[in-house]
Chain A
Amino acid sequence: MRELQDEAKLRMPWQDVILQTSVRILIPFIQLFGLYVIVHGHYSPGGGFQGGVILGSAIILMALVFGLPASKHYISENTNKVLSVLGPLVYCGVGALCILCGGYFLEYSALNTIVPLGEIQWHSMGIFLVEVGVGIGVMSIMIRIYRVLSSAGTIDQGL
């Protein structure tokens, strides 16, 4: 592992053409699949958690191949911080909104008083909103854990 660490320091300007090209082609498809898993969770296996991890792993793959600074250019550290708070906030916010509309916490049918879609349709819609919150939160937290772990806390240079 010591040799690997030294070697990683030497190849600071990542030069592997095959790796970079294949990952550049792969990443959009991985992200598209992550979005599909989140929004199609109503009909197929998957949901916010799995989709969020897939979206996060696309950024982690980018950080592995192009270096941590490149991935920070894509999602900056401050954006990631905001997103990681936004995820749980969306979930709890939907629940709190249900209380404000006169229902119980996370009783989605109460949201019918704001936008009249129909109570049962709001159950489906509320699950979707909540899954989006889970997806955002899980994605940014996975990226954050990876960044801190791979750079030993400095978040400037990864593996």
Chain B
Amino acid sequence: MIWQLDLFLLTLVAICALATVSVRGLLSATITFAAYSFLMCLVWAEMGAVDVAFTEAVVGAGVSTIFFIAALFRSTTRSPLLIRGIDDPHHFKDQGWKVLPLILSVVTGVLLFYGMSDFPAWGDPNSIPATRVAAHYVENALRETHVPNLVTAVLGDYRGYDTMFELVVIYCAGISVVSILKQENL
């Protein structure tokens, strides 16, 4: 892990995240969100989680961007902020309600950062998860499954139920999109 590269990528990630939230047009927000996904993909590839990076590049930056654009194409690209009008006098009147979510998210963020201090250091070989189950996979997966890619061995064999229900979740997502939008009989 090269900390200079990490710092650079994470700065860009933060900029893209802020741009996604603050940009006015929803089409621009979608594109900046795709850029955010690609940068996250780079961060993961740089951390050595190549499979996760691959999934992020294919799903997060690729297909989900197309889905967002397809959904926008059938609705409107104007965010509610723009429709109500930033110069609308009521817009600033109910600003007071936005303080509560701000406080809530800041408190949650501080708590998360506090909890993060209990994590083992990145790549620490003596941490508890690395010494128990991960060590078993690294030592035995190739002998027990003949699959050199440990991630595939864990996903397909040791954690087969996880992957099965992931597929079921995707299937449910497809079914729910179809059942909400489809106009003919199924």
Q: Which residues of A contact B (CB under 8 A)?
A: 1, 4-5, 8, 41-47, 49-50, 53-54, 56-57, 60, 64, 84, 87-88, 91-92, 95, 106, 108, 120-121, 123-124, 126-127, 130-131, 133-134, 137-138, 141-142, 144-146, 148-150, 152-155, 159
Tell me if B137 is interfacial: C-beta within 8 Å of chain A. no
Segment of B13-21, B50-58, B117-125 engaged in the interface with chain A: B50-58
Which chain A residues lie closer than 8 Å to B146 at the CB level? 120-121, 123-124
21 CB contacts below 8 A, A to B, read A4-B73, A43-B149, A45-B54, A45-B149, A46-B54, A47-B152, A47-B155, A84-B174, A88-B167, A91-B164, A95-B164, A127-B153, A141-B171, A145-B173, A145-B174, A145-B178, A148-B181, A149-B70, A149-B71, A153-B182, A154-B184
Q: Which residue of A lies closest to B59 (CB)?
A: A53
Whether the pair A124, B181 counts as a contact (CB closer than 8 A) is no
Which chain B residues lie closer than 8 Å to A84 at the CB level? 171, 174
How far in angstroms is the closest Cβ of chain B from A104?
10
How far in angstroms is the closest Cβ of chain A from B113?
31
Which chain A residues lie closer than 8 Å to B173 at the CB level? 141, 145
Which chain A residues lie closer than 8 Å to B148 at the CB level? 42-43
Whether the pair A130, B163 counts as a contact (CB closer than 8 A) is yes
With A and B bound together, what is the CA distance between A19 and B45 in angstroms?
A: 31
Chain B interface size, under 10 / 10 to 19 / 20 to 34 / 35 or more? 35 or more
Known: A130-B163, A145-B177, A150-B70. A123 touches B171 (CB 8 A): no
Q: Which residue of B lies closest to A45 (CB)?
A: B50
Whether the pair B66, A146 counts as a contact (CB closer than 8 A) is yes
Contact of A49 among B55, B147, B164 (CB under 8 A): B55
Q: Which residues of B contact A (CB under 8 A)?
A: 27, 50-51, 53-55, 58-59, 62-63, 66-67, 69-74, 76-77, 143-149, 151-153, 155-157, 160-161, 163-164, 166-168, 170-171, 173-174, 177-178, 181-184
How far in angstroms is the closest Cβ of chain B from A62?
12
Known: A1-B73, A43-B149. A88 touches B168 (CB 8 A): yes
Whether the pair B72, A1 counts as a contact (CB closer than 8 A) is yes
Which chain A residues lie closer than 8 Å to B177 at the CB level? 144-145, 148-149
Whether the pair A5, B73 counts as a contact (CB closer than 8 A) is yes
Which chain A residues lie closer than 8 Å to B67 at the CB level? 145-146, 149
Given A88-B168, A127-B157, A149-B70, 19 additional A-B pairs, CB 8 A? A42-B149, A43-B148, A45-B51, A53-B59, A53-B63, A57-B63, A60-B63, A84-B171, A95-B160, A130-B160, A131-B152, A134-B167, A137-B170, A141-B170, A141-B171, A145-B67, A149-B74, A150-B70, A152-B181
Whether the pair A154, B183 counts as a contact (CB closer than 8 A) is yes
